């Protein structure tokens, strides 16, 4: 009887480990693109190019009480699950582990890799966020305290969402425009709510694109991407 209990315990431990397996980045911090090596620094307050950042910030504030402003507040959600929700429609399939396990397995690791890329870039340069710079409130007050000392450059929301969108667009190229349109809106939402300048978002898209390009040189990524594409075909 004792052996049975021990075997049952070992089985439960194994199941727990599988269900709670840590998601691992495809790339190390040294392998992800280094933003400071190829992207320009964000404009300073005294630069003439900063005017566009200021203008877009003011334009964003004017949209906060509109339907688009409501969407921007919803888009403050930084989770991968939220990206699954907003991309399911454009992608043409419900994105969930239960429905498309190979695709979500790929997206989980892409998201984790994007977080590594985001942290590396933000740790290299501290740029004050717009709402802090101008001492103004945002429509997402619950996020202000946690993010007020976090670098505005580049936009983490944009890096992760754009990376996930690019991969989904590669899996389902017929829907690439719809997927990328929603991804573009998600990034613009960060300007509307006042957590980022336009240049933070623009440079984040470039960094994210460079990251996905680098991932195509990673064997593990390519193998999982192929599995994801085959799974998608089975749903057509």
Reply yes or no on whether the pLDDT at 11 is more than 50. Answer: no
Annotated active-site residue in 53, 143, 200, 202: 200
Annotated active-site residue in 157, 182, 202, 205: 157
pLDDT of residue 21: 62
CA dist., res. 117 & res. 209, Å (int): 11
Q: Are 57 and 197 in contact (CB under 8 A)?
A: yes
Q: Where are the beta strands (DSSP E) in the chain?
A: none
Average pLDDT over residues 96-124: 98
Nearest to 160 by CA among 108, 197, 199, 125: 108
Q: What is the pLDDT of residues 146-161, one digit of tens each?
A: 999 999 999 999 999 9
CA dist., res. 93 & res. 99, Å (int): 8
With H, G, I as helix, E, B as strand and everything else as coil, classify residue 165: helix
Reply yes or no on whether the pLDDT at 102 is more than 70. Answer: yes
Residue 190 is among the residues annotated as catalytic for this protein: yes
Q: What is the pLDDT of residues 21-70, one digit of tens each?
A: 699 999 999 999 999 999 999 999 999 999 999 999 999 999 999 999 99
Nearest to 164 by CA among 183, 189, 177, 178: 183
Summary mean pLDDT of the chain: 92
Q: Among the CATH numbers 3.30.43.10, 1.10.150.120, 1.20.144.10, 3.40.50.970, which is that of 24-234?
A: 1.20.144.10
Q: What is the pLDDT of residues 202-220, one digit of tens each?
A: 999 999 999 999 999 999 9
Reply yes or no on whether the pLDDT at 82 is more than 90. Answer: yes
**Looking at per-residue confidence, does 88 or 20 come out higher?**
88
Whole-prediction pTM value? Answer: 0.90
pLDDT of residue 188: 98
pLDDT of residue 18: 40
**Cis, bond preceding 172 (omega within 30 deg of 0):** no
pLDDT of residue 151: 97
Percent above pLDDT 90 for the chain: 90
CA dist., res. 130 & res. 137, Å (int): 10
Nearest to 232 by CA among 92, 43, 68: 92
Annotated active-site residue in 109, 129, 190, 205: 190
Task: Show the tokens assigned to 167.
Answer: 């991969």
Residue 157 is among the residues annotated as catalytic for this protein: yes
Q: Kindly list the distances between the CA atom of residue 82 and the CA atoms of 75, 86, 161, in Å, as whole numbers in the listed order.
A: 8, 6, 10
**Length of the chain, in residues:** 236
Least confident range from 11-15, 21-25, 167-171: namely 11-15
pLDDT of residue 9: 36
pLDDT band at residue 7 using 50, 70 and 90 as cut-offs: very low
CA dist., res. 161 & res. 179, Å (int): 10
With H, G, I as helix, E, B as strand and everything else as coil, classify residue 189: helix
Helix, strand, coil % (nearest 5) of the chain? 70, 0, 30
Q: Kindly list the distances between the CA atom of residue 129 and the CA atoms of 37, 61, 224, in Å, as whole numbers in the listed order.
A: 22, 14, 37
CB-CB neighbours of 37 under 10 Å: 7
CA dist., res. 67 & res. 88, Å (int): 21
């Amino acid at each position: 009887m004792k052996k049975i209990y021990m075997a049952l315990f070992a089985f439960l431990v194994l199941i727990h480990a599988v269900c709670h397996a840590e998601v691992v980045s495809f790339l190390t911090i040294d392998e992800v693109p280094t933003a400071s090596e190829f992207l320009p620094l964000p404009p300073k307050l005294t630069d003439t190019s900063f005017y566009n950042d200021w203008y877009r910030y003011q334009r964003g504030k004017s949209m906060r009480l509109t339907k688009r402003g409501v969407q921007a507040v919803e888009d403050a959600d930084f989770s991968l699950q939220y990206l699954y929700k907003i991309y399911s429609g454009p992608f043409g399939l419900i994105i969930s582990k239960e429905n498309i396990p190979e695709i979500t397995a790929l997206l989980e690791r892409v998201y984790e890799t994007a977080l590594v890329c985001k942290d590396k870039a933000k740790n290299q340069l501290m740029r004050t966020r717009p709402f802090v710079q101008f001492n103004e409130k945002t429509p997402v007050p619950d996020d202000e305290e946690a993010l007020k000392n976090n670098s505005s450059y580049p936009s983490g929301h944009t890096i992760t969402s754009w990376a996930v969108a690019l991969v989904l667009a590669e899996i389902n190229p017929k829907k690439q425009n719809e997927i990328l349109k929603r991804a573009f809106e998600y990034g613009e939402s960060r300007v509307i709510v006042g957590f980022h300048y336009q240049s933070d978002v623009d440079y984040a898209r470039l960094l994210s694109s460079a990251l996905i390009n680098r991932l195509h040189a990673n064997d593990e990524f390519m193998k999982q991407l192929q599995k994801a594409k085959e799974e998608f075909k089975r749903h057509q």
